[in-house]
Amino acid sequence: MSVTVKMIEAMLEELAPVETAESYDNVGALVGRRDAEVNRILVALDCTLDVVQEAKDLGAELIVSHHPLLFHARKNLLEEDAEGKILCEMVRSHLSLISAHTNLDQTDLSGSASCAKLLHLQNIRKASDYLFLGELEKPMKAIELESRITQALSFPVRRYGSESALIATLAIAGGADDGDWTAAQALGAQALLTGEVRHHNALAASMSDFVLFDGGHYGTEAPLVPFLAEYLQKRLNDVQYNVRVYPSQYAPFGSV
């Protein structure tokens, strides 16, 4: 029995139901054919032209991405803009796309939960829709935690706040979620790791003796890729299907 795009869509639906996504979002099966046969799947953060090429090189029929294509409504499909080019190339190459975005952000395979695992936090828990919390094995100075995060994410991290602040509980909201720092503080965390820190939040947090770590949108969400690929591979192995799942090796910003 062959595996189809529709069956992978159902596996993702069990993990991250489409109805839990934000109303502005665009998730689920977005490109291709639900009845297309799948033997190889490529999991990526973004479905870029390079990722489409990577899928073609692997002989994959399906890309599973975190960030969706067609996030904004289109009125044409011309190859004159980046997304139009990607969509046309996918159709030409018989590639399908499923995206799991804000619905995935609320699961333990989110970028936030994945960062928490890479940092070996203890008692990792979901504190609100998009905020995860965990404890360090012992309180650590912010400057020490900064280098630990940089190492764990393999991505440079910027710290806003005192280098000597002691952090016992770290909140994580991957991607663009710096506004959650007040919620994180109210939940007992001393710092928040997120992906896009705006100046007014950096200033307000540091005046409240709270530390913000900016690990970049890519840096704080790319860690979900191998975990999501592992999840899909396990689910497929459970039913003994001969389908391979590959985490994308493509780094959109080069090695940093």
Q: CB nearer to Zn ion: give 46 or 54.
A: 46
Q: Which residues contact 6 (CB under 8 A, 6 or more apart)?
A: 29, 34, 35
- DSSP one-letter string for 213-236: EE--HHHHHTTHHHHHHHHHHHHH
For residue 5, the minimal CB distance to Zn ion (Å) is 23
For residue 135, the minimal CB distance to Zn ion (Å) is 25
For residue 67, the minimal CB distance to Zn ion (Å) is 6
For residue 254, the minimal CB distance to Zn ion (Å) is 19
Contact positions toward Zn ion, by CB under 5 A? Answer: 175, 221
In angstroms, what is the C-alpha Rg of the chain? 19
Q: CB nearer to Zn ion: give 179 or 188.
A: 179
Q: CB nearer to Zn ion: give 54 or 105.
A: 105
Q: Which residue is nearest to Zn ion (CB)?
A: 175
Q: CB nearer to Zn ion: give 118 or 143.
A: 118
